[in-house]
């Protein structure tokens, strides 16, 4: 029997032609299993975010097909949560009110999801900040709130587009740990876009390594490291082997050079 598939990307291409044709994706195919933590790793401009937006139904492929839960994507799938590079919190709403935004849009009763909202805030270290405004929070805390908002409606699929790219190293490390803890407590299918090799290896079950534009899959690497993973795993020889292997791939693409 075939293994179940949450997301199927079948020979997807994407070309933008507003001011001269630019091919972002070329012949991308992959399957993602339910509950898998799947990362898309590659250099800037390789089409990582474009593929994520196609999966989210925010962009339409120029060719090929994407299926989520067996259905062809023609718009945002049901039970979807998205976290972007910027938190996009509404400055005039408290943190709790920001979390409740998807609930308000769906005209659901806040009281039905308030316990979940408080649990999420506690899980991501924001307990006690419910009535604060975004301007009163650090960048890392704002991004934690953004993740909580994406999770408030208990999505089956969570798409994350370089959510920690603008954060300092220590905050980014902590959010990697927090995200892993959330995913282990409340398993979801996660597609995580990043340009950090170390981050991808730490978080992922599998990693799709992309070539420079037009984005193609150079390889899909399975990360065979036990969970839960602590930050100290980065010193494990197996971890450094994965990082070295991916770095060598990018060197072969001419993206990393150590000569002067």
Structural domains in the chain, CATH included, are 1-79+156-260 (3.40.50.300), 88-155 (no CATH)
Distance CA 253, CA 247 (A): 10
User: What residues contact 199, with CB distance under 8 A and at least 6 apart?
Assistant: 39, 164, 172, 176
Instruction: Give the per-residue pLDDT at 210.
Output: 96
Q: What does the CA dihedral 106, 123, 83, 145 come to, rounded to 10 degrees?
A: 80
Mean pLDDT of 51-68: 96
CA distance linking residue 253 with residue 218, whole number of Å: 10
What pLDDT is recorded for position 33?
A: 96
Place of tokens 């075939």: 2
Cross-strand partners of 208: 40, 220
Average pLDDT score over residue span 82-104: 93
b vs e for 173-200, b when ≥16 Cβ sit within 10 Å of the residue's Cβ? bbbbebbbebbeeeebbbbbbbbbbbbb
Distances (CA, A) of 155 to 17, 45, 68, 80: 33, 28, 13, 5
Q: Examine the pLDDT at 1 and tell me if it is beyond 50.
A: no
**pTM (2 decimals)?**
0.92
Q: What is the mean pLDDT of the chain?
A: 92
> Do 210 and 52 meet the contact criterion of CB atoms below 8 Å apart?
no
Residues 83-101: b if buried by 16+ CB within 10 A, e if exposed: bbbebebeeeebbbbbbbe
Is the predicted pLDDT of residue 78 greater than 90, yes or no?
no
For residue 204, what pLDDT band results from cuts at 50, 70 and 90? Answer: very high
DSSP result, 66-91: EEETTEE-SSPPSSEEEE-SS----T
Q: How confident is the model at residue 15 (pLDDT cuts 50, 70, 90)?
A: very high
Mean pLDDT calculated for residue range 150-155: 93
Higher pLDDT, 3 or 114: 114
> Residues 26-38: pLDDT tens digits?
999 999 999 999 9
Strands 22-32 and 7-16: antiparallel
Kindly indicate the confidence band of residue 69, based on its pLDDT and cuts at 50, 70 and 90.
Answer: very high
Confidence of residue 157 (pLDDT cuts 50, 70, 90): very high
Q: Is the pLDDT of residue 134 over 60?
A: yes
Task: Report the percentage of the chain scoring pLDDT > 90.
Answer: 80
């Amino acid at each position: 029997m075939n293994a179940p598939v949450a997301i199927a990307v079948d020979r997807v291409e994407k070309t933008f032609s507003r001011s001269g044709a630019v091919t972002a994706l070329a012949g991308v195919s992959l399957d993602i299993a339910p509950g898998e933590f799947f990362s898309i790793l590659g250099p800037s401009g390789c089409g990582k975010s474009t593929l994520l937006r196609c999966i989210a139904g925010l962009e339409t492929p120029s060719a090929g097909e994407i299926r989520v839960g067996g259905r062809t994507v023609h718009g945002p799938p049901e039970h979807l949560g998205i976290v972007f590079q910027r938190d996009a919190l509404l400055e005039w709403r408290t943190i709790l009110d920001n979390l409740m935004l998807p609930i308000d849009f769906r005209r659901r009763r806040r009281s039905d999801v308030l316990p979940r909202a408080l649990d999420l805030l506690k899980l991501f270290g924001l307990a006690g900040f419910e009535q604060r405004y975004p301007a009163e929070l650090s960048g890392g805390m704002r991004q934690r709130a953004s993740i909580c908002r994406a999770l408030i409606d208990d999505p089956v699929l969570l798409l994350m587009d370089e959510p920690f790219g603008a954060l300092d190293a220590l905050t980014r490390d902590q959010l990697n740990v927090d995200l892993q803890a959330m995913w282990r407590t409340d398993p979801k299918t996660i597609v995580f876009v990043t340009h950090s090799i170390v981050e991808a290896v730490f978080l992922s079950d599998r990693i799709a390594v992309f070539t420079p534009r037009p984005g193609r899959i150079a390889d899909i690497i399975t990360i065979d490291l036990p969970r839960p993973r602590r930050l100290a795993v980065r010193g494990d020889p197996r971890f450094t082997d994965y990082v070295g292997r991916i770095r060598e791939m990018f060197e072969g693409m001419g993206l990393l050079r150590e000569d002067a």
